[in-house]
A and B are shown apart, each in its own frame.
Chain A
């Protein structure tokens, strides 16, 4: 169970997140949609303290982190319960595809190397990149890099997977394969919070859609409620524009 209460983030006078409250049940898949610059990515980045929230409480399982008193040990613990998929992939440039996956298993989770490598090989098979195991990121296409990025997140077995617009930086030809992979991750009922502009995809895989505007959650509900019968005029306007 994940709970977010009163999460707020300001840059100077600009309030990017304005008291976000959100609960996510284990196994739930939640998609965040909304116009650009409304704090969707900042929300994700605050959830693992890549950006430090100014106030608010994040709870994952028995771990509760209050922005007012977050210690570095708590931040580390939070990061170890979440996995993050970046818009620009952010694979470790000095590591092969396989080592990108084993790295955290060995250094962070302290798994024996053989176990980590076996896990990485399983995942490489699953993401269809067994033949690219020894390739460095620079030798992979955007789609392949993002599949490794998702594989790296899968390997962590995190309580919550955060995906920050995973297909936005991709050339159109690679979007399909990445969406397919995320669909398979979602089918396993991995708890996930995904920021996306792929409305059809969100509708397909999400249990719940959250619409954000101006740093606030304006409206949330099932895909049918949000896409077919939005209650707020801002949601309706946004959906009309992106369709």
Chain B
């Protein structure tokens, strides 16, 4: 056992910080994609569009029912073998697509539950003033569902940021990949992975702070 090599750790911080933009970028891109997809699926699940509904249920079931790592390998290493168009896909794109699909399945269920939680009278009031179903959903029900779903969705985003570390298994040099390379060169595994752990933790704590601001904003409609 040796003492912690503090100098090495401090030197590593700026190196890994250089990969934060890629990590956040992948998570943000996947979050935007997942949110859009999840909203569409949630609305579909509430409306129960024939045929489409069975497809969406199967989609959600598959992406919730299999490990993210397996899905990423399937996209990156597996799919190009049967679909040659995909053979040029790079690790970052594959990771973003994998994260988007995986998390959209979870988020769709949260948003669906939040939509169903909006009081029926809100639907009725919207219909009574002559709004179409789509208008009622977009202008009255979804904004109220968003307030309920927001904490859970931010949690998924946090999970997503941490899950970008799996992209390193697709050969992407992001925070985790960079740390792995550094550690392999210095053999200071404990120091290296401790630094990257603390950096992930700091990012997540920053987000948790933003989450509280967001919730305060969304809650103003029910504040007295």
Interface residues of A (CB under 8 A from B): 48, 50, 76, 79-80, 82-84, 86, 88, 90-95, 103-104, 107-108, 136, 138-139, 152, 156
Any chain A CB within 8 A of the CB of B135? yes
B68 at interface, CB cutoff 8 A: no
Q: Are A138 and B223 in contact (CB under 8 A)?
A: yes
Residue B130 contacts which of A104, A138, A139 (CB distance < 8 angstroms)?
A: A104
Q: Which residues of B contact A152 (CB under 8 A)?
A: 129
Number of B residues whose C-beta is below 8 Å from A? 23
> How distant is A158 from chain B, measured CB to nearest CB, in Å?
9
Cβ of B140 within 8 Å of any chain A Cβ, yes or no, is yes
CA distance A88 to B122 in the complex (A): 11
In the complex, residue of chain B having the shortest beta-carbon distance to the beta carbon of A51: B124
On whether the beta carbons of A107 and B125 are closer than 8 Å, the reply is: no
* A-B pairs under 8 A by CB, number: 69
Q: Taking CB as reference atom, which chain B residue is nearest A140?
A: B224
> Using an 8 Å CB-CB cutoff, how does the interface string of B136-152 with A read, 1 for contact, 0 for none?
00011001100100000
Chain A contacts for B6, CB-based, 8 A = none
- Is the Cβ of B121 less than 8 Å from the Cβ of A86? yes
Question: Which residues of A have CB within 8 Å of B129?
Answer: 79, 83-84, 103-104, 108, 152, 156
CA distance A92 to B121 in the complex (A): 9
**Chain B residues near A (Cβ < 8 Å):** 119, 121-122, 124-132, 135, 139-140, 143-144, 147, 220-224
Knowing that A79-B130, A86-B121 touch, tell me 7 more A-B residue pairs with CB under 8 angstroms. Answer: A86-B124, A93-B222, A94-B221, A107-B135, A136-B221, A152-B129, A156-B130
Task: Give A234 to B4 CA distance when docked, in angstroms.
Answer: 92
| Contacting residues, chain A, for B125 (C-beta < 8 A) | 84, 86, 90-92
**Contacts A76-B130, A86-B124, A108-B129: A93 and B144 contacting too (C-beta < 8 A)?**
yes
For the complex of A and B, the 5 pairs showing the least CB-CB separation, nearest first, are A104-B129, A80-B130, A84-B128, A90-B125, A90-B121
Closest to B121 in A: A90
Determine whether the beta carbon of A139 is less than 8 Å from that of B224. Answer: yes
Residues from chain B with a CB closer than 8 A to the CB of A90 are 121-122, 124-125, 128
Q: Could you list 15 A-B pairs, sorted by A, with CB under 8 Å?
A: A83-B128, A83-B129, A86-B121, A86-B125, A90-B121, A90-B124, A92-B125, A92-B126, A93-B122, A93-B222, A94-B140, A136-B220, A138-B223, A139-B223, A156-B130
Q: Are A50 and B124 in contact (CB under 8 A)?
A: yes
User: Hey, which chain A residues are within 8 Å of B122, CB to CB?
Assistant: 90, 92-93
**Set of chain A residues within 8 Å of B139, measured between Cβ atoms:** 103, 107
What CA separation (Å) do A104 and B126 show in the bound complex? 8
Bound-complex Cα distance A239 to B126 (A): 36
Interface-centre pick from B127, B128, B221, B222 (highest chain A CB count, 10 A): B128
Complex Cα gap A139–B139 (Å): 20
- Alpha-carbon gap, A156 to B122, bound state (A): 18
**Shortest CB–CB separation between residue B12 and chain A, in angstroms?**
47
* A94-B131 contact, Cβ under 8 Å, with A138-B223, A138-B224: no
Q: A94 touches which one: B121, B130, B143 (CB < 8 A)? A: B143
User: In the complex, A95→B125 CA distance in Å?
Assistant: 12
| Residues of A close to B135: CB separation below 8 A | 107-108
State whether A50 touches B127 (Cβ < 8 A).
yes
Asked if B221 contacts A138 (CB within 8 A), the reply is: yes
On whether A108 and B140 interact (CB within 8 A), knowing A90-B121, A91-B125, the answer reads: no
Contact A88 B121 (CB under 8 A): yes
Q: Return chain B residues, CB-CB under 8 Å to A104.
A: 129-131
Cα-based distance from A136 to B6 in the complex (angstroms): 54
* A50 contacts B144, C-beta separation under 8 Å: no
User: Please, which residues of chain B bring their CB within 8 A of the CB of A93?
Assistant: 119, 122, 144, 221-222
Q: For the complex, give the distance between the alpha carbons of A152 and B126 in Å.
A: 11
Structural contact, A136 and B222, CB atoms closer than 8 A: yes
